[in-house]
Amino acid sequence: MKEQIESIRAELEALAAGEGPAASSSRELYELKMEYLGKTGKISALSKGMRDVSPEERPAVGSMVGELRKRAEELFEQWERELKKKELSAKIAREKIDVTMPARFAETGSVHPVSLVRQELIDIFAGMGFDVFEGPEIEKDYYNFQALNIPADHPARDMQDTFFITGEYLLRSQTSSGQIRVMENKKPPIKVLSPGRVYRSDSDATHSPMFHQMEGLVVDRGITLNDLKGMLDEFARRMFSSNTKTRLRPSYFPFTEPSVEVDLSCSNCGGKGCRICKGTGWIEVLGAGMVNRRVLENCNIDPDEFTGFAFGIGLERIAMIKYGIGDIRLMFENDVRFLKQFKG
């Protein structure tokens, strides 16, 4: 019996002589503890064995067992403390927060460049007193062509490769149709913008079968080409930069007379000539002109009493110039790497 006690004590002291707690996890340590102090453990077995010890020896052996139990409890308590400390520092090391790591932000959407341009244009023109009118995308030939002085056999129809739905209905090829719809319903003074989608059977780096335009129309007594020029100057300065200049070149549209093509001084090189303006210093941005007498007559507005100007802006074209976008198709592919660049 005494030998048994000594050998168990020696086992424990050997464990105590090692470095750190006698086990590497709380679970292992618990199992080890049970091996000695559990109900069926080695030390409990000694207590049970007391029955077989002779009455004379019992007090001495009993106190040896008691001491052994005390020592064992002491050791396990110490190991448990050490192990807890070790596990805590391991946990702290594992869960250390690296404050220099880049934060993970929630992805937010961005406004499409065409929407940005549309909103900016509306802001600029609304500031000059324009209302907004949105006409239908499925339009009658009458509003898209005939009333705009483009009769059925007119060669100008070839300028726009139109998607016809029936002989009478088509996908509007220009927002100029909005002019007629407005003038049919309202008498001068008129100052209106008509933004929206338009469609043409055309597709390459600068043409898309669906794109956006914004039509502008001003009709009143005494409106002249000078008013158009002044308004375009203001638009160019607000949309691009305060030193942007405009230039009117003679052109032809059936619904305006005279008609002009409007160029802006290149905002990239300031007019000196660069890759973007193809060395000319000017960039063509829109078509405009004085509303043709026939168009006013078609809407029952007396052309001897009222005059007006109109203009049509391609929104993708403005976006391409403003943001330096080389291919119109980028705007319809919805690649987030492209779209993300227009946040705020």
- If one asks whether residue 311 binds ligand DAH (CB under 6 A), the answer comes out as yes
What tokens appear for 135 in the block?
A: 């006409």
Run of H or E including 247: strand 246-253
The answer to the question of residue 199 lying near ligand DAH (CB under 6 A) is no
Q: Is 196 one of the binding residues for ligand DAH (CB under 6 A)?
A: no
From the number of C-beta atoms within 10 Å of its C-beta (0-12, 13-18, 19+), residue 169 rates as: middle
Structure tokens at 81: 């403390």
Residue 47 — φ and ψ, nearest 5°?
-60, -45
Site residue total, ligand DAH (CB under 6 A): 11
Residue nearest to ligand DAH (CB): 312
Q: Give Cα 232 distance to the centre of its chain.
A: 32
What is the closest distance, in whole angstroms, from the C-beta atom of residue 118 to ligand DAH in the complex?
A: 16
List the Cα angle 269/207/145 in 5-degree steps: 115
Residue 28 in tokens: 């292992």
Question: Does residue number 68 form part of the binding site for ligand DAH (CB under 6 A)?
Answer: no
The helix (run of H) or strand (run of E) holding residue 334 is none
Q: Is 310 in the site for ligand DAH (CB under 6 A)?
A: yes
Nearer to ligand DAH, 38 or 136 (CB): 136
Q: Report if residue 253 touches ligand DAH, rule: CB under 6 A.
A: yes
Cβ 270 to ligand DAH shortest distance, Å:
27
Identify the residue among 144, 149, 162, 176 touching ligand DAH (CB under 6 A). 176
Smallest gap from residue 242 Cβ to ligand DAH (A): 26
Q: Which is nearer to ligand DAH, 281 or 289 (CB)?
A: 289
Q: Is 174 in the site for ligand DAH (CB under 6 A)?
A: yes
CB of 288 or CB of 331, closer to ligand DAH: 288
Q: Of 14-22, 81-89, 120-128, 287-295, which segment contacts ligand DAH by CB under 6 A?
A: 287-295
**Binding segment toward ligand DAH, per CB under 6 A, in 60-68, 85-93, 99-107, 283-291:** 283-291
Piece of the chain touching ligand DAH by CB under 6 A; list 64-72, 265-273, 293-301, 305-313: 305-313
Q: Report the C-alpha gap between 301 and 188 in whole angstroms.
A: 8
Shortest separation between residue 126's beta carbon and ligand DAH, angstroms: 18
In the window 14-53, what residues touch ligand DAH (CB under 6 A)?
none
Q: Which helix (H) or strand (E) holds 81?
A: helix 58-94
Whole-angstrom distance between the N-terminal and C-terminal Cα of the chain? 86
Residues 236 and 242: their CA atoms lie apart, in Å, by: 8
Using CB under 6 A as the binding rule, whether residue 288 contacts ligand DAH is answered as: yes
Residue of 21, 135, 254, 312 that binds ligand DAH (CB under 6 A): 312
Interior angle at CA 226, CA 225 and CA 227, nearest 5: 90
Please pick, from the candidates 113, 281, 287, 308, the single residue that binds ligand DAH as defined by CB under 6 A.
287
Question: How many Cα atoms sit within 13 Å of 32 on the Cβ side?
Answer: 21
Q: Do residues 183 and 301 touch, judged by C-beta distance below 8 A?
A: yes
Q: Which helix (H) or strand (E) holds 198?
A: strand 190-199
Query: What residue ranges bind ligand DAH (CB under 6 A)?
Result: 174, 176, 215, 253, 256, 287-289, 310-312
